[in-house]
Chain A
Amino acid sequence: MFGGLLQFHFMQNAYLAGTLVALLAGAAGYFVVLRGQTFAAHMLSQVGFPGAAAAVLAHVSPVLGLIAFCVAAALGIGWIGRDLEPGHRAESAAVGSILAFSLGLGLLFFRLYTGSAQAMYAFLFGSILGIADRDVLLTLAVAVAALVVLAWAGRPLVFASVDPNVAEARGVPVRLLSVGFLVVLALSVAITVQIVGTLLIFALLVAPGAAALQLTARPLVGLVLSVALALVVTWLGLALAYFTDFPVGFFITTLAFGAYLAVRGLKAVNAWA
């Protein structure tokens, strides 16, 4: 039965892109949860929608549009947050305004678009059908580049995430790392949207990291667990979508949520026993 899974080209592309996406989203997601930046991840994914829509209108790869809009938004938040002390009232207000504007843009592009609604639907909820060969190559390039940066900056990033004041005194460029991580996060969002869409992105970008951090307080083990969970959830989700004809976004979110719930339940039972 599983032999038939990869017989079609679109499923091969879905599995290639999905694997790359899970690797990066799992790794970036660990840091998102450790740093408490789920709001930034949410904002970046919403900004992705008009980016993808604009790219479709311009007849280029939607991944390019996603990258352009998400990275611009990441630099925007980084620049706004640069002069501000933590507390983030002004920052979250600014982020909220950008978010609303970008969704408005998305609506406009959606209205201008004359093709099938299926493509727009895919950006919102993900799809196993729409991943072209050029997108697989672009996903490969983005994932490899972002993973190399994460590996190289991993230790200072953990330091800056858990103990920014001491890290700064020790010579870690905390602000630069903060903007740099937002850009990596933007790239992760840009490629993850292909599989689960802008609305369901937390399934791969937050749930695996959150479950991993519940299971272990060891940084390296947590990172590996987060990536492993993202991979398993993606692979299973794609297979279930293929064999049942229900949407992939539903399966991946359900599996990710199930994993998180199981981990919390396990912890509660352990604490009680």
Chain B
Amino acid sequence: MSAALRFERAAVRLGGRVVWSGVDLEVEQGEFVAVLGPNGAGKSTLLKALLGLVPLSQGSVSVFGHPVGRGNADVGYLPQRRRFDPDLRIRAVDLVRLGLDGARWGLSLPSAAKQRRVAEIIELVGATPYQDRAIGELSGGEQQRVLLAQALVSGARMLMLDEPLESLDLNNQQAISELIRGICKSQGVTVLLVAHDVNPILPFIDRVVYVAGGHVLCGLPDEVIRTDTLTRLYGAPVEVLRASDGRLVVVGQYEPVSHHAEDH
């Protein structure tokens, strides 16, 4: 099976500083991969490089064997955000529909096929009961389901989700992770999910990509989230502790902000 995405000796510079470099990374089709790492390490930049929103300064990147670019219908993207403005007056179903043909110019005729597709995908994420309500009125968990439908509706084979679990309570984090796992396995969709905490998603993911210290590491959760591995990646002492309930805690992460300040 060919790789869903591949970085080769890739590097990104933003505003004169190297975010990460020497990245060799391959993700197989249908894998559920968590992208982890401290704040500011370049997790979102990794997704943006895959979307063609941020250019590489070195190396190459491909998605499904093709060079990356904007407007790729194979890729559904869910950017990092807090919430929709509570006063935003557009229905959930309209937002999903924009994922299907929102980028097209000109007038559109009513299309039963498009309506069916939208209804089908809204059903898949379980958002049917509130599809006619304004997006701003929905709860955080409901909004994430609608956004997942929007990302999937054009037939995307890869989902890039930037912190979709942020600002959700623990129950919703579990429910959304489970939903994403289900979509990943039933539809064969490759999923990259950026998270700052691995614990809520640990039972659902196949592999982790860890971004820290200007480098990127990929592997099984047990291989990567270990004291020796992360210490090497960070280039500084880091300790991984396992709590009695199985939760992983990474302690001793140095502050990337002060590190970059020293770079200048």
Contact = CB atoms under 8 A, between A and B. Distances in A.
Interface of A: 34, 36, 151-156, 158-159, 162-163, 165-172, 213-214, 216-219, 222
Given A151-B107, A222-B89, A170 B102 contact: yes
Interface of B, secondary structure class, is loop
Contacts of A34: 89-90
B95 A155 contact: no
A166 B108 CA distance: 21
B51 interface: yes
Given A155-B103, A170-B102, 20 more contacts: A34-B89, A151-B107, A154-B107, A155-B102, A155-B106, A156-B103, A158-B94, A162-B84, A162-B95, A162-B98, A166-B99, A167-B102, A168-B70, A169-B51, A170-B103, A171-B71, A172-B103, A217-B90, A217-B91, A218-B91
Contact of B81 (A151, A154, A165, A171): A165
A218 to B, nearest CB: 6
A170 B70 contact: yes
Interface string B67-104: 00011000101110100110011110011001101111
Contacts of B77: 165-166, 169-170
A218 B107 CA distance: 16
Taking chain A's interface residues, is the majority helix, strand, or loop, or is none over half, making it mixed? helix
Q: Which of A34, A169, A214, A219 neighbours the largest number of chain B CB atoms within 10 Å of its CB?
A: A169
Nearest to B51: A169
Contacts, number: 83
A171 to B, nearest CB: 2
B91 A159 contact: no
Nearest to A218: B91
B89 A169 contact: no
B249 interface: no
B143 to A, nearest CB: 11
A152 B75 CA distance: 26
In this complex, the member of A154, A163, A171 whose beta carbon has the largest number of chain B beta carbons within 10 angstroms is A163
B144 interface: no
A217 to B, nearest CB: 4
Contact of A152 (B91, B105, B151): B105
B106 A152 contact: yes
B107 A152 contact: yes
* Ranked 8 nearest A-B pairs via Cβ: A171-B71, A159-B102, A165-B79, A217-B134, A213-B89, A169-B77, A170-B103, A217-B89
A156 B102 contact: yes
Contact of A163 (B95, B105, B133): B95
Contacts of B103: 155-156, 159, 167, 170-172
6 contacts: A34-B90, A152-B107, A154-B107, A159-B98, A162-B98, A217-B90
B150 interface: yes
B241 interface: no
Contact of A153 (B84, B101, B105): B105
B105 A156 contact: yes
B53 interface: yes
A213 to B, nearest CB: 4
A169 B70 contact: yes
A162 B105 CA distance: 17
Contacts of B104: 155-156
Among B81, B95, B103, residue most surrounded by chain A Cβ atoms (within 10 Å): B103
A27 to B, nearest CB: 14
A156 B71 CA distance: 13
A167 B89 CA distance: 17
A222 B85 CA distance: 18
Contacts of A217: 89-91, 94, 133-134
Nearest to B73: A170
Contacts of A155: 98, 101-106, 108
Contacts of B98: 155, 158-159, 162-163, 167
A137 B31 CA distance: 62
Nearest to B105: A152
B88 A162 contact: yes
